[in-house]
Amino acid sequence: ILNVEQSPQSLHVQEGDSTNFTCSFPSSNFYALHWYRWETAKSPEALFVMTLNGDEKKKGRISATLNTKEGYSYLYIKGSQPEDSATYLCAFRRVNDMRFGAGTRLTVKP
Binding residues for other proteins (CB under 8 A): 31-32, 34, 38, 40, 43-46, 49, 51, 87, 89, 91, 93, 96-103
Report the residue number, 17 or 57, with the smaller CB distance to other proteins: 57
Report the residue number, 18 or 51, with the smaller CB distance to other proteins: 51
CA 72 – CA 67 distance, rounded (Å): 5
Do residues 33 and 94 make contact, with C-beta atoms less than 8 angstroms apart? no
Q: How many CB atoms lie within 10 A of CB 24?
A: 18
Burial of 89 (0-12, 13-18, 19+ CB in 10 A): buried
- Give the nearest distance from C-beta 103 to other proteins in angstroms: 5
Q: Is residue 82 classed as helix, strand or coil in its secondary structure?
A: helix
- Give the nearest distance from C-beta 16 to other proteins in angstroms: 28
- Give the nearest distance from C-beta 96 to other proteins in angstroms: 4
